[in-house]
Amino acid sequence: MNRSLKRPALWVSAILVILTLLEGANYWFGFRRAADMDSGTSGEKTVLYWYDPMVPDKHFEKSGKSPFMDMQLVPKYAQTTAAAKAEPMYWYDPMIPDKHFDKPGKSPFMDMQLVPKYPDGAGDDGGSIRISPATLQNLGVRTSQVESGTLSAAAHVPGSVAWDQRSAFEINARVDGVVDILGIRAPYETVRKGQALAELIAPEWSAAAQEYLELGRAESADARALRSAARHRLLVLGMDEGQIRHLRGGNPRVVVRAPADGVVSSLQVRQGQRVQAGMPLMTIHGLDTVWVEAAIPQAQAAGIVPGTEVIAEVSAFPGESFRGSVESLLPDLDAGTRTQMARIVLDNPGHRLAPGMFADLQFASDTRDSHLLIPDGALIATGTDARVIVVVDDGTFRPVRVIAGHSAAGKTEILKGLNVGDRVVVSGQFLIDSEASLSGALDRLSTPDGDMGGSGNADDGGMPGMDMPAPQQPPAMDADMRNDADAMKDMAADRNMPGTSQSQEHPR
């Protein structure tokens, strides 16, 4: 009986011992794996540090989740090429790469180790960088193939309808008088050619008209000459031939008539108002043609010249188009928007287009030569140059300088720097570009001519290991370097910058 009771107890004890051993083995292997990751060993590659691609200048000693973005930290691997055998040319602080030191040590500017600078070709694979497939998936990297084609030079820009100032007529008072009758009561009334706009009582005309009528009864040659002079005076005062022929005496009236069909765009006089000679009464604009003013981007203005055909569409008349041409490209460039104003003349059948309407303009395109084309999003413009990220193979990328041409319809011409069939990154390229800057690939940037450019001041081999011992004394500095170091330390103290150290612990 006792023996039968002891046997199950022994089995239970054995099972507990086995489970304990398995748990211990699992813990030991997990600890070793974590230790290998933290020490930077992952297969054949050594992890120098982890970083957030969106904030690449902040380094962490352990893997984990970024404190800045909702994404995992990315490992930075040490170079495994001939850099280990090459002699460094100098050491430098990646934050201030133009200051060089002749030996390794701690940076006098930041609390971090100096980085070695190797000769061109050592510690790199021709300016390329490699990114793991998992990281590429997290970044959402997309690529596109370089194509050869013709970029349409047609420009689509918005414009605003305005009065055609060539058909403007300003109606002025040609004699002192009083507005007795005003035929226009409000602005924007439509008028016809010859229509009476206003009648003025002109006392000055009375004497001239009376003189003309009295000389008309004289028969001598001298009287006829004086009568001709009096008639000319009436014409100068603003009286037309019909008024002179029907002159009967009394108080002559000045009848102001419309010189053309149009719209009274401004009314500056009221009935009963006294006016003086030269005073503006109203302005009439014709509507047979209108102007459209459009701001043309500087990159597209070169292809637009006076006479270029234009098709305009307005939302008030969907499905209809109005044709015209460029009258002039004004010699004035807006410094803020980098646009040049174009003046387009449009036919206005039925007088349906009104000033202030919004118009969508399409300029006729000229035939252009064939060029390499890439999506607009693939181009990284820095202000001093332009570059793209070229796919070398799966996971390997190389920044390449290019010379860009015109852009239209989401495509950009590439005049030099790429070949047909190359693949360029169109999404996530800025993150890869920042990684290229950290790894020093931008210093070995491929130029459009095929040689290798750059100043040689960026990092070729990546950041050194976190356990690199620092010498007791920093490298020698000149007066300018001391001033820069003091300024950087003061700035860090004032702003309480926690990221100025070489690394920082990942928040738990």
Q: Which CATH number belongs to the domain containing residue 402 in this structure?
A: 2.40.420.20
Choose among 94, 112, 95, 115: nearest CA to 103. 115
Question: Between 144 and 207, whose confidence is greater?
Answer: 144
Domain ranges, residue 486: 44-123+460-500
* The dihedral sign for the CA sequence 52, 56, 62, 67: negative
Query: 276 and 319 share a domain?
Result: no
CB-based contact 427:85 (threshold 8 Å): no
Judge whether 136 lies within some domain: no
Looking at the DSSP bridge assignments, the partners of residue 342 are 294, 329
Residue 16 pLDDT greater than 60, yes or no: yes
Structure confidence at residue 355 (pLDDT) = 92
Structure confidence at residue 190 (pLDDT) = 92
Percent of the chain with pLDDT over 70: 69
Looking at the DSSP bridge assignments, the partners of residue 358 are 160
Query: 278 and 179 share a domain?
Result: yes
Structure confidence at residue 293 (pLDDT) = 93
Structure confidence at residue 470 (pLDDT) = 41
CATH number of domain containing 322:
2.40.30.170
Tell me the per-residue pLDDT of 173-202, one tens digit each, with 9 for 90 and over: 888 888 989 999 899 999 999 899 998 888
Residue type at position 222: D
The pTM score is: 0.48
Judge whether 261 lies within some domain: yes
Average pLDDT over residues 57-86: 73
Judge whether 129 lies within some domain: no
Domain count, the chain: 5
CB-based contact 244:219 (threshold 8 Å): no
* The dihedral sign for the CA sequence 135, 112, 433, 90: negative
How far apart are alpha carbons 291 and 159 in whole angstroms? 10
Judge whether 475 lies within some domain: yes
Structure confidence at residue 356 (pLDDT) = 92
How far apart are alpha carbons 367 and 151 in whole angstroms? 9
Judge whether 208 lies within some domain: yes
Residues 6+ apart with CB under 8 A from 237: 174, 175, 202, 204, 205, 208
Query: 207 and 275 share a domain?
Result: yes
Query: 259 and 178 share a domain?
Result: yes
Query: 231 and 84 share a domain?
Result: no
Residue 404 pLDDT greater than 80, yes or no: yes
Query: 353 and 418 share a domain?
Result: no
Average pLDDT over the chain reads 74
How far apart are alpha carbons 53 and 429 in whole angstroms? 11
Choose among 419, 416, 391: nearest CA to 405. 416
Query: 270 and 327 share a domain?
Result: no
Tell me the per-residue pLDDT of 409-451, one tens digit each, with 9 for 90 and over: 788 888 888 988 898 988 877 777 776 665 555 555 555 554 4
Average pLDDT over residues 396-409: 84
Query: 262 and 312 share a domain?
Result: no
Judge whether 91 lies within some domain: yes
Query: 254 and 180 share a domain?
Result: yes
CB-based contact 444:120 (threshold 8 Å): yes
Judge whether 455 lies within some domain: no
Judge whether 75 lies within some domain: yes
Residues 6+ apart with CB under 8 A from 416: 402, 403, 448, 449
Average pLDDT over residues 50-67: 80
Average pLDDT over residues 127-131: 72
Choose among 395, 391, 378, 351: nearest CA to 163. 351
Instruction: Give the ranges where 107-185 is alpha helix by DSSP (H).
Output: 133-139
